[in-house]
Structure 1
Amino acid sequence: MAPESSQPAKKRRTYRCRRCGFPKKGHVCAAAAAAPGDLPLLPSPEEEEKVDGISALPDDVLHTIISLLPTMGGAKTQVLSSRWLPLWRSAPLNLDDAEIPDLWEDFLLNVITEIITDHRGPTWRLSITKLARVNEFRGDLVATLDDLLRSGTLDGLEELRFHYRPNMTAPDPLPPAATRFSCLRVASFGFCSFPGAGVLGGVAFPNLQELTLLAITNSEDTLHAMISACPVLRSLLLRDNDAFRRVRISSPTLVSLGLCSRTSDMEELIIDNTPSLERLLMFRSSDKLPRVVSVFSAPKLEVLGCLSDGISDEHYGVVVWPQQLRVNSMAMLRTVKILAFRIEENSLDATVHILRCFPCVQKLHITLAEGLFVPDIHNGLVDDAAAIECLDLHLKEIVVRNYRGQKSHAAFAKFFVLNASVLKVMTFRACVRLSKKWLSNQRRLLRLREKASPNARFEFSCDGYFMDYYYNHSQRSHQLSVGDPFDD
């Protein structure tokens, strides 16, 4: 007799009928023999209503849902059922021409006009960014767009984004009706010129909290008039406004100010009477920023950057970064908690000077310039080794970008490893391939075993070469809920 197998017998899989649930082998499905009309393949209308809980919501709630969808997504809700069919035309309109499928410019304008004209409800958001001022078939569109913006459907408009297509010739005038909306909370104007300062002086935006000006061809007088017309403004972003030369920002409610430019035409930025300002964000390298940034009153400033490391000694009570930053007193800088700067020079002394100017900083973003060379640094020490308050008491997080791992970079980073007493995490955003050998060599060069903070972690990640904080980051000027606008 054959010996019994020690392995348990495999359990056969039982295939069951998908209609009745009985095992398929050797049975005739009774459900298959039923008349087609007896099979519950689709739920009845009564059952459908029970399953579709969204359609049972009140019209006001459904209107809100539709208005939060993209333009085409909101329009497509009309085909869901007879319940949804009339809702889109009466819901608050969210119209963005960038979300409309590609059309000839002439047809696109017709579609926008038809949607606004036929809409029976209010409009809460309008974005026009794909139209040029001059149309091949219609000619100058300023008057046409002005008539469109005067539509009664737009009377309660809360968000407006009006950008002409970029034009490298003459300035494109903004339709006068674009400044008529007193209910605006968010506004963005781009590649256009505003009416004269005298006309703008009568404009008021009593509810405007978020303003973006992109490639405006007016002088800074128009900007000053706009700020005066916005009594509750909280965030302001200035991008590529080459005609602005000497800008003065004075607003009791402004929380965040962002600057971003491809050129360096602005000569001076003056921050005056900004008791609520918490963020001063400059999203380019130092040679593309205002030559002088003077901060006279910003008692709540907590986030600052991106600066360069060309810093000089205190002079007549004013701390000066050449072509960069001036403040009234050192005490003003004690409020800064997050600081971003770029290392352009070849000396660690400049960085140490920056750290002394910001004694309460808790997080640093440091971008290393290509070819940075730091000579004669011994064991992470500098000539002036006096105590640095932020290293001893406050600095908890450091992000180093463009780290390559050569001796000069390691010597620079080692200074923080050996001196930051309360450091929690230091992140190296390397622009080289990370291998086990490379990481092992870095731990040796950085002397991580001798770290000043016993709880510090050191993390390495592989990134591409980081040029500048630019447009992707500049939109964070308006994202006040984001704790650190310099984080990726």
Structure 2
Amino acid sequence: MPNQNPRRRPLFSPPPAAMDPPQPLIGISMSDMQATMERGGMDRGTLDLGFNMLLYLVYDYIPKPPVSPAAPLPLSGPSSAPDGVDRISTLPDAALANIVSRLPAKEAARTAALASRWRSLWHSAPLAVVDAHFLPDGGARGPLVIGAPSPREVTAAVTRALASHPGPFRCVHLTCSTMDEHRGEMARWLDVLAAKGVQELIFVNRPWPMDLRLPTTLFSCASLTRLYLGVWRLPDTGAVPRRAAFPNLRELGLCFTVMEDRDLAFMLERSPVLEILTIMGSQSGVRLRLVSHSLRCVQLSYSHLEDIDVVDAPRLERLFQWTTLGQHSSTGRKRRSRIKIGHAPNLGLLGYLDPGDNEMEISNTVIVAGTKENIVPSVKTLAYEVQFGVRNAIKKMPCSLRCFPNLETLHVQSKKNAEPTGKVNLKFWEEGGPIKCVLQAMKKVFFYEFRGLRSEVAFLKFIAERGRVLEKMVVVVASECFSSGGDVNAKLKPLTSAKWNSKACKLQLFKSPRKEGGVPVFSHRLASEFSIADPFDLIYYQESL
């Protein structure tokens, strides 16, 4: 049995338990969904509550403003230099403009009253405009949601701020206005931002309607480096000028957005330096076809995608598929989403895959030991989400693992199923033949929400008894195993008494802090942090066993 590690402090503070969002009726628009629910007798308050949950997800995914009106200021010390000399005002214009650009728009404008030296600085500094800062509380109560009054004074303040500054704009966050009530202002805002050079734009519509179409003027914002859109319908790309593009765009987020396959393909085609793509909660089914020589990270969350086709993405390093919903056919049965990996030589991190619901196709073949095998040799970190109580969900797992011969780190989230439909024992894994990554490459295994199922034990025991270079196995035991009458030691005994192949491996046991298994715990904000080698590795479990 390998050595068990002592109690240790978590690397991250515990995030809140993930909540399964209300799932949209796949295949119909949100406006149709609203009408259907209202005809069914659902009152507006209940509708608003449900859709606010979706809107909160959007707010969670969009980047936080880089400036804040609540920034702390020092209270101690003299208010001016002892000799009365204003040394800050003697700094070069570039340094002072940098200071002003880091202030909220209202505070930046007020610097003109400090001294004559400052009067024209805010006009030359790239300005940050965050509409929530124009609220009476400065946005301290959080984002506005459905049901809150439409802040017309905020909309007017944004119009004045954009008109009074010559640009460029460092960042513009527009999340407070009900855009359907201000279509004229919305169109003028985009015209101004395109003309004056906006670098970062966060643009969220407070529905209704939830499928309001964006003007094609959006494609005139050629200076954009970061763009996040929430609760919109993408512009009609057929009406976009041929030369329109986002030549500087490096990060794109589409949150709860209505789009067609061609619209998404058009935006990717017109973004030649795009590195980070996030699609969260798409309102309609879409096929994602990746042809990009710049993309490094793709994150898909709360979306329903029929196909994910990595055709040609030579720089792609990370592909995340988190809480992704499959399309439903006309018969009401869930269609399996298809993941096709073509040319992606740098793809090192992939997950969460569900062997029961995802059909994987690898178009490139590699000659291995004189035979052709469909493998992705670059993947070093992989995450699965598996129903171990369902045999059909497990039987494809060995073949899937063989696609990644150089896999070093494996994360497995055990999904709770209502009724077990077949068991898998150790013999199942032994009869399937050798799995190269288990034998020769796998160093770390993380298993979350372990419930002591026979299939779970068989899988972990197979890894333990076959892994030659295994260094660490982390098992997080589901909280339900500690309920009255539960014998945790009995559930773990087959694993702790196994004949471990790697005597140096450390077995680390933790109690899950979550009451229910739910969806995989994953920080979407860490997904594109390339300085973090493994975003799946959130060691926040505070109670070791």
Question: Which TM class, normalised by the smaller chain length?
Answer: 0.7 to 0.9
- Partner Cα separation in structure 2 for residue 224 and residue 341 of structure 1: 28
The residue that corresponds to 1:415 in the other structure is: 462
The one of 84, 93, 97 equivalent to 2:131 is 97
CA contact (8 A) 2:173 2:202 kept: yes
- Structure 2 equivalent of residue 238 of structure 1: 279
The alpha-carbon deviation at position 65 of structure 1 amounts to: 4.3
Give me the identity figure in percent. 24
Unaligned runs of at least 5 residues, structure 1: 1-40, 136-140, 311-321
Residue 386 in structure 1 maps to residue 425 in structure 2: no
Paired residues of 1:236 and 1:478 also in contact (CA < 8 A): no
Q: Which amino acid aligns with 1:333?
A: V
Alignment of 1:341-360 (within 5 A): 341-345=384-388, 346-347=390-391, 349-360=395-406
The 3 A distance-change label for structure 1 pair 486 and 84 is farther
Change (3 A) 1:374 1:267: closer
> Among residues 161, 164, 170, which one is paired with 2:205 in the alignment?
164
User: 1:77-128: per-residue Cα shift (whole Å, max 9, x none)?
Assistant: 8599659975556532122224542585201112222222333653111111
Using the TM superposition, give the Cα deviation of residue 206 of structure 1 relative to its aligned residue in structure 2, in angstroms: 0.8
2:213 is aligned, of 150, 165, 173, to 173
Instruction: Confirm or deny: 8 A CA contact 2:167 2:196 kept in the other structure.
Output: no
Asked if the contact 1:236–1:477 (Cα under 8 Å) also holds between the matched residues in 2, the reply is no
Alignment map for 1:12-411 (pairs within 5 Å): 43=78, 45-47=80-82, 57-68=91-102, 75=108, 78=111, 86=119, 90-100=124-134, 101-102=138-139, 104-119=150-165, 122-135=168-181, 141-151=182-192, 155-168=196-209, 171-200=211-240, 201-262=242-303, 264=304, 266-285=305-324, 287=326, 291-310=337-356, 323-328=358-363, 329=365, 330-345=373-388, 346-347=390-391, 349-371=395-417, 375=423, 377-378=425-426, 382-384=429-431, 386-405=433-452, 408-411=455-458
Rate the CA distance shift 1:397–1:388 in 2: closer, same or farther, 3 A: same
Contact 1:237 1:474 in 2 (8 A): no
Residues 166 and 196 in structure 2, CA contact (< 8 A), matched pair in contact too: no
Structure 2 gap segments, 5+ residues each: 1-75, 140-148, 328-334, 366-372, 539-545
Q: Return the alpha-carbon distance in structure 1 between the equivalents of residues 259 and 194 of structure 2.
A: 30
Q: 1:434 to 1:69 in 2, by over 3 A?
A: farther
CA distance in 2, matches of 1:363, 1:376: 23
Q: Does the 8 Å contact 2:216/2:237 carry over to 1?
A: no
1:250, distance to aligned residue in structure 2 (A): 1.2
Distance 1:453 1:99, change over 3 A: farther
The structure whose Rg is larger is 1
The answer to whether residue 482 in structure 2 is matched with residue 447 in structure 1 is no
Q: CA deviation at 1:48?
A: 7.2
Match of 2:518 in 1: 467
1:389 CA drift (Å): 1.7
| Paired residue secondary structure (1:367) | strand
Which secondary structure does the structure 1 equivalent of 2:176 belong to? Answer: coil
Q: For residues 92 and 336 of structure 2, what CA distance do their matches in structure 1 show?
A: 53
Q: Which has the higher contact order (CA 8 A, sep 6+)?
A: 2
Cα deviation for residue 175 of structure 1 reads: 3.2
Normalised to the residue count of structure 2, the TM-score between the two structures is 0.68
Deviation of 1:463 after TM superposition, in Å, equals 2.6
Superposition CA RMSD, Å = 3.6
Change (3 A) 1:191 1:43: closer
Deviations 1:241-290 (A, max 9, x none): 2334333221122222222235x3x3323221222222221111564796
Structure 1 stretch displaced more, 95-104 or 295-304: 95-104
Cα separation, partners in 2 of 1:373 and 1:217, compared to 1, 3 Å: closer
Structure 2 SS opposite 1:267: strand
Letter in 2 for 1:377: N
Q: Relative to structure 1, is the Cα distance of residues 194 and 409 closer, same or farther in structure 2, using a 3 angstrom cutoff? A: closer
Task: Go from structure 1 to structure 2 and tell me whether the alpha carbon gap of 1:344 and 1:83 turns closer, same or farther (over 3 Å shift).
Answer: farther
Aligned partner of 1:414: which letter?
K
How many residue pairs align between the two structures?
Answer: 424
- Deviation, 1:469, is 4.7
The structural deviation recorded for 1:337 is 0.8
Q: Secondary structure at the match of 1:354?
A: helix
